[in-house]
Amino acid sequence: MDGRDPAVILRAGALAERTALAAANLADRGVGPGHRVLWSCAASMDSIVGLLGALRLGAVLVPVNPSSTQSELAYLQRDARPSAALVDRPATRECLEEVDPGCAVSSPADLLVPRRAGTRTGVDLNAALPGDDALIVYTSGTTGEPKGAVHTHRSLLAGVQALRIAWDWQPDDRLILALPLFHVHGLCAGLFGALASGGTAAVFDRFEPALVLEAAGAASLFFGVPTMYHRLAETGRAAALADLRLCVAGSAPLPADLWWRFAREFGVSVLERYGMSETLLTLSNPLVGERRPGSVGLPLPGVEAMVAAPDDDGVGELMVRGPSLCRGYWERSEASEAMGVDGWFATFSRGISSMATMKNNSPVPVMSSPCSRVWIAATMVRASTMTAGKTMPSSASDARIMVRERMAMMRMTMAEERKMAALSGMNSCAKYISGYAPVNVPRIRSSIQRSKLRM
């Protein structure tokens, strides 16, 4: 539904009809299964129909920020080589047509024009297989040229299914979706999550605090980034969000003081989570239970996580493994091979997990749990000795993996890192592995180093 005009609603039947028409019009423009379709639009009913039509046709969606510069657009077009593009800005159209005159550039509204008589009718819809490519999301390029993380239909479905389970996403939920759809937070978690759950999304073309707070009265979910929460707090009326059953923050760390302000002043316990373009969402604070500021929680269903090669303070490389990971980077064989070993993905984030309860400077001894979860006191056991039955915290609820982006962590001293951990209620460190499997630590460490050299 249109967030600005709630009377404008696309129910399942109408959405199916419109996306079929959009797919057919894309096919008339020469787009077929496996072809890339660049999508650079603000969120709207028509632009969403266009991107879903491309997916139903079996094409591969390439979302791009509408505010991209001409040089950025040119790079992405040359790298992805799309057969068609959906754009809503004249300048974007001009740039794409100049770089590749053969690319069929259209507006989302163009795909909803009834087809001319005599056009072909046999357009196969929904024929893509689980392992077929569905989405190429380009990284920010902070460590080099942007690379396209390639997701399959299987990895996209795995990502939303994990959120449905972890956040109890139901058909009667209504999401306030004011996030841009060219990032995985808004597109894969927000839009695809709402569609997969059978729920509703109130879609806004941009974030405006007043509109979000007004929409909260009829909604149950809100996904945002820290900047949004800052602006909502500045209104002094963020208590309207307390009527929602879940407010999620991600894409950057939410400052602890802001988290506490929402909790104490507005009655909102924000749930923080962690994810990347390559992995989708992989870690989350619990829906039911304690949520800690500065922590991104535990692995989502189906996801495994560990802190590899921790130092004496338990800080190491956060590694994740699960079905929502991308299959690799678009036409980057070396970078794809360096992503990880045995399915483990090196996130290039520094992880520290809490907290092994210490008594008299000795770890509390325990056994591995029957559900194959293994806790290890990182101050006592090195990654090279990961075996069941070592040591673990006295309470499973005390475990969280706290993530800080790699570059931010490089600017922090160890004393500052300990202070940050203390603010989150963490004393000493432990590692948490969900769905434990034997880990070849030397190979993982070698893979991390190779990847760093190639980034």
Per-residue pLDDT of the chain (455 residues; tens, 9 = 90+): 999 999 999 999 999 999 999 999 999 999 999 999 999 999 999 999 999 999 999 999 999 999 999 999 999 999 999 999 999 999 999 999 999 999 999 999 999 999 775 566 678 999 999 999 999 999 876 667 899 999 999 999 999 999 999 999 999 999 999 999 999 999 999 999 999 999 999 999 999 999 999 999 999 999 999 999 999 999 999 999 999 999 999 988 899 999 999 999 999 999 999 999 999 999 999 999 888 888 888 899 999 988 877 777 777 778 899 999 999 999 999 888 877 778 888 886 655 544 222 223 222 111 122 222 222 222 222 222 222 222 323 332 333 333 333 223 323 333 443 443 343 333 222 222 222 233 444 444 454 444 444 43
- Write down the CATH number for the domain with range 12-128: 3.40.50.980
Q: Identify the pLDDT of residue 324.
A: 96
Q: Identify the pLDDT of residue 351.
A: 56
Tell me the C-alpha distance between 284 and 334, whole Å: 31
Phi, psi of 136 (to 5 degrees): -120, 110
Strands 84-87 vs 200-203: parallel, antiparallel or unpaired: unpaired
Q: Is the CA virtual torsion 51, 52, 56, 62 positive or negative?
A: positive
Which residue matches tokens 């969403």?
A: 48
Domain ranges of the chain: 12-128
Strand, helix or coil at 180? coil
Q: At how many degrees (to 10) do helices 12-28 and 45-57 cross?
A: 60
Q: Identify the pLDDT of residue 376.
A: 22
Residue 40: both structure tokens together: 């650079």
Q: DSSP character for 2?
A: B
Number of Cα atoms under 13 Å in the Cβ half of residue 195: 19
pTM of the model: 0.77
- Residue 143: C-alpha distances to residues 189, 299, 316, 406 (Å): 25, 26, 19, 11
Tell me the C-alpha distance between 383 and 124, whole Å: 50
